[in-house]
Amino acid sequence: MRRGVKLGAYFMLIAAAFLFGVVGTYLIGRHGGFNIGNMSLLNSVYFTVVTMSTVGYGDIYPVTAVAKIFVMALIILGLSMVLGFITIISGDIVNERLENLSNRISRADAARQKGHVVLIGTSGVNMLLAKQLKEKKERFMIVSPEKDISEQLNAKGYRSYFADPTSESEIGSLNLKKAKQIVIDLGKRSDTIYALLIVRGVAMDVNKTIIVQDQEIERHIKELGLSANEHIVNPNMLAATNIIKHVYLEGINII
């Protein structure tokens, strides 16, 4: 996406530079600035293309001071465009490779951990758990499906890894079978179910807590079947139950 935006802006600059070259060549040529007597629009386009591409056949050349200055500017502009294009492409390739290398190093570091808590997702419950685990100096890691959020968490001192929780290869590379507890809190129904199925495959014997926000998701997960080490927690239902308890058993007015 970022490369596409850069290339789009770059091609707009090329179009503007090309238009500058064609119009400038045509106007200067009509006033005798080049060796041909009558500069046509076709010759203006032809000269701009061969000059900006640094080919320069030499069949059309400037003869006045103004024309020479203009052509020098056009050549510099053409070279800048070529170098700019190379920089954009090569820079993105290098950044992509460095990013991939950084991700591999991060996941290798995550795979070395053991006896820790793994928080998959960065929704409300997991973020509260992360804060409390950090305060208690417990060993834990956060798996975030959003790169920007993962970077923000790392900047705040958390151990966070960017990975797609619905990708078996990415989750498998984290070696979750060494964890003591896995908490899945992704918010979306489909992501939660996919993540649970993948985590089951790579960490079958690890205790798992699945955070759900409504009874519909809870029902779907229960239909898949829960093992003895898997538990569903519905924060909304717990809150509602707690409120009802206070209202009817303790007579507290919540309004």
The CA angle 128-107-90, to the nearest 5 degrees, is 115
Question: Is pLDDT at 253 greater than 70 in this prediction?
Answer: no
Report the distance separating Cα 169 and Cα 85, nearest Å. Answer: 34
Quote the pLDDT of residue 64: 93
> From residue 42, how far is each of 12, 13, 20, 60, 93 by CA, in Å?
22, 22, 15, 12, 38
Protein fold of 114-249: Rossmann fold (3.40.50)
Tokens of 63: 């003869």
Question: Is pLDDT at 112 greater than 90 in this prediction?
Answer: no
Quote the pLDDT of residue 254: 47
Q: What is the DSSP string of 183-195?
A: EE---SHHHHHHH
Report the distance separating Cα 86 and Cα 107, nearest Å. Answer: 32
pTM of the entire structure? Answer: 0.59
Asked if the 2-103 domain carries CATH number 3.20.20.70, the reply is: no
User: Which whole number is the average pLDDT over 227-242?
Assistant: 88
Could you tell me what percent of the chain has a pLDDT over 90?
A: 40
User: Which whole number is the average pLDDT over 219-233?
Assistant: 90
For the chain, domain boundaries: 2-103, 114-249
Quote the pLDDT of residue 15: 87
Tokens of 96: 């992509």
**What is the chain's mean pLDDT, rounded?**
84
